[in-house]
Structure 1
Amino acid sequence: MLLFPNLATGFRLALRARFGWLAGGSLLVLILAAFLAAQFSGRQPATVAIDIGLSIIRLLLPLVLVLMIQELQSREFDRRYFLNTLSYPHPRYSLLLGRFMAAALLTLGLLLVLASALALLVWSIAQGYVQSTPVTLGLHYLITIAFIGLDLLLLTAIATLLAVIASTPSFVLIGTLGFMLVARSFGAIVELLTRNATLVNDASSYRAGVGLLSYLLPDLGALDVRTITLYGRMDLLPADWPWLVVSNLTYTIGALALAAWALQRKRFT
C-alpha cells in the first residue's frame, strides 16, 4: 500500500513535465514517418510502413522514458525535494519502486497507443495495395510489441539505477542511451563477424572480445523480432526466446534491487 502514494505522485509529476506533449509529439512523428516511408515504396508499402514505424517506436520511447526518469527521480535529488519526500514514514524503496512503476506504466501505455496507431495505419495502407507477402497484424504483431515492451522495461530499470547513483541528471540520459546502444548492437556485431571474418583484421579475437559483453549485458538486439510480423512466419522467432525473456526479466529485477540498495545507503548532504 505504501507504493500507491508514490505512484500517484509520479503520475502527477509526469503530467507537470508535459508527458502529454511528449506522447502527442511521438504519435505525430510515428504517423508521418510511417506514412511517408510507405509512399516511397511501390511494391511493399505496408511492409515498409510497419518496419519504419517499429524502428521509430524503438528509437523514441527510450528517450521518453529517460526524460520521465529524470523528472521523477533525478530532479528529486537535484532540487532537494527528498528533504520533504523522505520525511514521510515510509521506506526509501517505496519511493524508488513507486516512481519506477509510474515511469514504466506511462511508457508501456504510450507503447500500446503507438502500436495501435501504427497497426491502424498499416491496415489502411494495405487496403489500397495487395502485396504478395502481406504483413501479419494478429498474434505475430502482439508478440513483437510484447518484446519491445520487455526491452523498455529493462531500460527503465537501468535509468532508475543511474538516477540513484548519478550525480547529475544528464548522466542518466547519456548512460541509459549508451547502455541501449551497446546492448542492442553487440549481438549483431558478433553474428556479422561470424559470417564474414574478412571485415576486420584478426576477426576471431575481435569477436571474442565483443562476445564478452554477453556475460555483462542483456542482448536487447535479440528482442527485436519484427521479422515474424513482416513476413508472417513464426519460425523466425529466436529458438531460445524463453531464455531471452527470463534473462531480461532477471536483469531488470537485479537492476531494481541494486538501485534500492544504493538508495538505502545513499547519504544526502
Structure 2
Amino acid sequence: MLLCNLSGFRLAFRANFAWLAAGSLLILTIATPLSAQFSGRQPATVALDIGLSVLRLLLPLILVLMTQELLSREFDRRYFLNTLSYPHPRHSLLLSRFAAVAILTLGLLLLLAAALALLVWFIDQGYEQATPVALGQQYLVTIAFIGVDLLLLTAVASLLAVVASTPSFVLIGTFGFMLVARSFGAIVELLTRNTAVVNDAERYRSGIGFLGYLLPDLGALDVRMVALYGRMELLPADWPWLLLSCLTYTVGLLGLAVWALQRKRFA
C-alpha cells in the first residue's frame, strides 16, 4: 500500500502537478486583486467571492487531470502489467491512487486558501467596509465544505477511470456530474420561488427534484456567505446531514469502483 502511494505521488509530479499548482496560484493571485477593482465599497467581499469561485473551478480540473494520469493511463498504457504483478490486491492500487489524488488536491486547496486569505487581508487594509469579511472560523468552515466537495468529485473521477474506455471520458463525465450536482438544487429553488420562469413549472420542478434522490446536492456545499458576511447562521439548517450524505456517497462510489476493478478483465 505504501509502495503504491509513493508511486502515485511520483506519477503526479511527473505529470507536472507542481506546474499546475503554480499556475493555479498565479491565476488566483491575478484574479483576486483585479476583481476587487470592480467594487468601490466592498472590494474585499468581491475579491473573496471571486477567489472562492476560482478555487471551485480550478481544483476539480486539477484532480481530474491527476486521476487521468494515475488511473486512466495505468490501464490505457498497460502499466498495470507491472503494477499488478506485485503481491498486493487490486483494490490497494485503486485506494492508494485515490488517496494520492485526494491528498494532493486537498493540500493544494489549503495552499490556495491561505494565499487567498492573505490577498483579501491586504485588500481589506485599504478600505474599511461596513460589513467586513470573516477570515477566521467562518472562512475555515467554507474551505472545509469545499474540501468535502472535492473529495466526492475525486471518488467520481476514480470510478469513471475504472469503468471508462478512454481517459477523456473521465474529464467529460466528472465535469458533467459536477455541473448537474451543483446546479439542480438552485434550479429547484428558483422554480419554487418563481413559477413564471417556465410553463408548467410544477412538472419541471418535480422532474428535476427527482435528481435529489440520485445525486448529492453539491450546490449546498457552497457556503461562502458565512465568510463573506461573517454570519454562521447562514449555514444550511441541515448541514450535518448534508456532510454525512456527501461522505456516505463518496464511500459508496469508492466501493463501487473497487467492485468494478475486481471484475475488470484486462486484455
Residue equivalent to 1:63: 61
Give unpaired runs (5+ residues) of structure 1: none
Q: Which of 174, 177, 195 does residue 175 from structure 2 map onto?
A: 177
Residue equivalent to 2:166: 168
Between the aligned partners of 1:191 and 1:185, the Cα distance in structure 2 is 10
Between the aligned partners of 1:189 and 1:6, the Cα distance in structure 2 is 42
Between the aligned partners of 1:50 and 1:184, the Cα distance in structure 2 is 20
Between the aligned partners of 2:176 and 2:5, the Cα distance in structure 1 is 27
Query: Runs of 4 or more off by more than 6 Å in structure 1?
Result: none
After superposition, give the CA deviation of every residue in 1:221-247 in whole Å (9 maximum; x if it has no partner).
Answer: 000000000111111000000000100
2:145 matched to 1:147?
A: yes
Q: Which of 83, 86, 90 does residue 84 from structure 2 map onto?
A: 86
- Aligned pairs (5 A) from 1:228-247: 228-247=226-245
After superposition, give the CA deviation of every residue in 1:69-96 in whole Å (9 maximum; x if it has no partner).
Answer: 0000000000000011111110000000
Q: Please, what TM-score do these two structures have when normalized by structure 1?
A: 0.99
* C-alpha displacement of 1:125: 0.6
Give unpaired runs (5+ residues) of structure 2: none
Residue equivalent to 1:95: 93
* C-alpha displacement of 1:146: 0.1
Between the aligned partners of 1:19 and 1:113, the Cα distance in structure 2 is 14
* C-alpha displacement of 1:4: 1.2
2:218 matched to 1:224?
A: no
Residue equivalent to 1:123: 121
Residue equivalent to 2:70: 72
Between the aligned partners of 1:56 and 1:246, the Cα distance in structure 2 is 26
Residue equivalent to 1:262: 260
Between the aligned partners of 2:40 and 2:235, the Cα distance in structure 1 is 28
After superposition, give the CA deviation of every residue in 1:6-26 in whole Å (9 maximum; x if it has no partner).
Answer: 111100000000000000000
* C-alpha displacement of 1:128: 0.7
Q: Secondary structure at the match of 2:40?
A: coil
Residue equivalent to 2:210: 212
Name the Cα RMSD after superposition: 0.4
Q: Which residue type is aligned with residue 143 of structure 1?
A: V
Q: Which residue type is aligned with residue 195 of structure 1?
A: R
2:33 matched to 1:35?
A: yes
Between the aligned partners of 2:123 and 2:33, the Cα distance in structure 1 is 8
Q: Which of 74, 88, 107 does residue 109 from structure 1 map onto?
A: 107
Residue equivalent to 1:158: 156
Between the aligned partners of 2:117 and 2:237, the Cα distance in structure 1 is 26
Between the aligned partners of 1:205 and 1:39, the Cα distance in structure 2 is 43
Residue equivalent to 1:21: 19
Between the aligned partners of 1:31 and 1:139, the Cα distance in structure 2 is 23
* C-alpha displacement of 1:179: 0.2
Q: Which residue type is aligned with residue 165 of structure 2?
A: S
2:6 matched to 1:8?
A: yes
Between the aligned partners of 2:6 and 2:84, the Cα distance in structure 1 is 16
Q: Secondary structure at the match of 1:87?
A: coil
* C-alpha displacement of 1:134: 0.2
After superposition, give the CA deviation of every residue in 1:181-238 in whole Å (9 maximum; x if it has no partner).
Answer: 0000000000000000000000001000000000000000000000000111111000
* C-alpha displacement of 1:31: 1.2
Q: Which residue type is aligned with residue 226 of structure 2?
A: I
Between the aligned partners of 2:129 and 2:65, the Cα distance in structure 1 is 39
Q: Please, what TM-score do these two structures have when normalized by structure 2?
A: 1.00
State, as a whole percentage, how many aligned pairs show the same letter.
76
Q: Which residue type is aligned with residue 127 of structure 2?
A: Y
Between the aligned partners of 2:21 and 2:253, the Cα distance in structure 1 is 26
